[in-house]
Chain A
Amino acid sequence: MHSNCLDCDNMTEIIEVKDIVKVYRNGVKAVKGISFSVSKGEIFGLLGPNGAGKSTLLKMLSTLLRPTSGTATIDGLDIVKDAGEIRKRIGLVAEKMILYDYLTPYENLKLFGKLYSIEEKALDERIDDLLKTVEMDKWKNERVKNFSTGMRQRINLIRGLINYPEVLFLDEPTLGLDPHSSVEIRRLVAKLNREMGITVILTTHYMEEVDALANRIAIINNGEIAALDTSENLKRMISEEKVLEVKITNSAKAIESIRELDCVRDVSSRDGELRIYGQGENFVDSVIDRIKSSDSRIISIKEIEPSLEDVFIKLTFGGE
């Protein structure tokens, strides 16, 4: 499913971001000089932990926030100077749902359709089409107030599509959804991308989400791009990573000698507990040997599945 854009390299760049920076008024540097470009028809994933700056980046690209410095263009239009023109071409599904509880799906969509100056008859048809796409046509005239989160998110999603945008920004579109609804939404996004050729920029915490959807993924941490690659390559990077969590006596001395190991990438210590990151078949054996040979006693040891955060730590704090 995610290989529908094999020729991405040959396609035109629709989004170009150059050294974009956002410093909030309270001094928080949320985005610290990010550059990348996205091809037309691509699904581009932004993966990162809480506070990484994903939403900030997306808000700047969707003209909701002014960058502190740097530039970005969509279709060659500048996001600051040509904001008005860009707004016509983009769709936004923000972190917080843009949906009015007291209105029906029809009314919600109608309101925004009117704000995009879509002609009455075309708009009504479009609303019906979109509602059918997400299988919500039965609920057209019920109040959103009584909908489940999954139903709401489907309406929220098509609200962002009311103007048939060229670029769709999706900020954590499956947040708070059950696995079934999440899969539904992902399937839908893939379909929109495939059938309508919409370029999608998607942020998420979930590896499987970008894995299923995105052609390329930028891992963002601390306002910077830590890695940018295809999902296959990134996945390989993660699956090779092993993490050991050990509790030992006399840890200070042991850390030094563990670090010297070739198969170890990083060691971090938190409340007397060590986290050792590394790879290779002999990784666990070698670490245990080193602990034993440095007069430490093992209190507990376990191998843990690498989480996304572990990857970020590896990628961003390298040899710390």
Chain B
Amino acid sequence: MGIKSEISHTLWITWKDLMELRRSKMRMAMMVLMPLIMMAMMSFMFPSSNSVSNIPVAIVNADSGSAGSEIIYAIEQMNSESKMMILKNASSEEEARNMIVEGSTLGAIIIPEDFSQVLSTRSSTADITVMTDNSNPQISQILSQVLTQIINSMSEEYAVMGLEPMAREIGINPVAMVVPFKAESKGVTESSSYVEFVIPGLLMMTMITSVMTGLPRAIAYEKDIGTMNGFLAAPISRFSIIGGKALGRIIRGFIQGILSLVLAIVLFRINVYGSLLSIFAILFLGVFSFVGLGIVMTSIAEDEETASMIIMTLTLPMMFLSGIFFPIEMMPSFMQTISRWLPFTYAVDAMRRIMVFGATLGNVYTDVVVMLAFGIATLIIAIPVFERGMTR
């Protein structure tokens, strides 16, 4: 049995599986729909402009002087452009607090009674309180960050204004007196949002789940209904059976992966920095690394349902542990250890580096080596396990 006929047998089995898919309108539709639904869901969860808007915020101006009103005017001016907040008036700190408790606002800016006075005498630093609804951590964090930043920079401006005459006398820049140095943070690429962090992993996930859930159908189902006997009784190598089945699934997964990629680019306008060829290579490698494992699981299981269940239980935690949704560094250390043992982690990592940083295959060679090694090792185990599973 030459290698040539083995390849031909493999391709014929793949052809059969793809033919069955093509002939079933429902299955074709589902194959296209799956990535579509997934990406649409993502776009609801992570809108492409990663800013928030229309947060109700109460303003309490207890200041007897004019400085308070000036600050509020400045905030209103700023907000009229960004529409981040809906500003409401409140008479006292007490009332603002009640509004937050009731839920009618999510935050408050409180300017105290003696604000103008302290400011003009400069007897100490005048305080403005920013109060937020900390039962809503995400919004609370954004709001307090943004408001403190606005108020602090206004304070800096105020300081610079006060120092200006003096600074001119000694001939230095007043800004440098107030802010002698500051940090400027800068990413490797221009911008990056959470979506850009998540999409590469999701692409990988779409493909791998497609292959992993598809394999039990492709193998265990045929075993259940007895058609597998046709392949097993034919003079073909067992590898051709496995290879043919896997290739069919990889092609299906690939179509879904590419569809998801296109949708991601259209829906989220994400920037893809890496070459398309590297992306495809990683998609392929990622799936390849899993095929052996999928076949082992499927062969061990007694029927299709058991196989699906084993594979689902295995892949689901893998998705979370592999850092698709949040960085591995945020996990407890023992989970980080588990994560490092999962091939999926490397697939996601490679995909992210290529898509977001424009890395080349050479840059991610560790990931490539790990995926290849895992894929080959599991496939080597898979062949005898498959043989045993089919002839018990």
Contacts and interface: CB of A to CB of B under 8 A. Distances in A.
B12 A99 contact: no
Interface string B97-137: 00000000000000000000000000000000000000000
A66 B5 contact: no
Interface in B198-243: 225-227, 229-236
B12 A102 contact: no
A143 B20 CA distance: 11
A66 B13 CA distance: 24
Interface string B169-182: 00000000000000
Interface in B1-47: 1, 5, 8-9, 12-13, 15-16, 19-20, 23-24
Tell me which of B20, B235, B392 has the highest count of chain A C-beta atoms within 10 A of its own C-beta.
B235
A98 B23 contact: no
A63 interface: yes
A112 B230 contact: yes
A116 interface: yes
Chain A residues touching B, range: 20 to 34
Interface string A104-121: 000100011011110000
Tell me which of B8, B20, B230 has the highest count of chain A C-beta atoms within 10 A of its own C-beta.
B230
Interface string A65-97: 110000000000000000011011010101111
B2 to A, nearest CB: 10
Interface string A49-73: 0000000000000111110000000
Contacts of A107: 16, 19
A96 to B, nearest CB: 3
Contacts of B19: 102-103, 107
B391 interface: yes
A159 B234 contact: no
Contacts of B20: 100, 102-103
A24 interface: yes
Interface in A16-74: 24-25, 62-66
Interface string B234-255: 1110000000000000000000
B5 A62 contact: no
Contact of A92 (B5, B12, B16, B229): B229
A96 B229 contact: yes
A172 to B, nearest CB: 12
Contact of B226 (A84, A87, A95, A115): A95
Contact of A103 (B1, B16, B236, B390): B16
A88 B233 CA distance: 9
Contacts of B226: 94-98
Contacts of A94: 226, 229-230
Task: Give the 10 A-B CB pairs with smallest separation, nearest first.
Answer: A96-B226, A98-B230, A87-B235, A102-B23, A115-B234, A102-B20, A88-B235, A92-B233, A114-B12, A94-B229
Interface of B: 1, 5, 8-9, 12-13, 15-16, 19-20, 23-24, 225-227, 229-236, 390-392
24 contacts: A63-B232, A64-B233, A64-B391, A84-B235, A87-B234, A94-B226, A98-B227, A98-B230, A99-B227, A100-B20, A100-B227, A102-B19, A102-B23, A102-B24, A103-B19, A103-B23, A107-B16, A111-B12, A112-B230, A114-B9, A115-B9, A115-B231, A116-B234, A117-B9
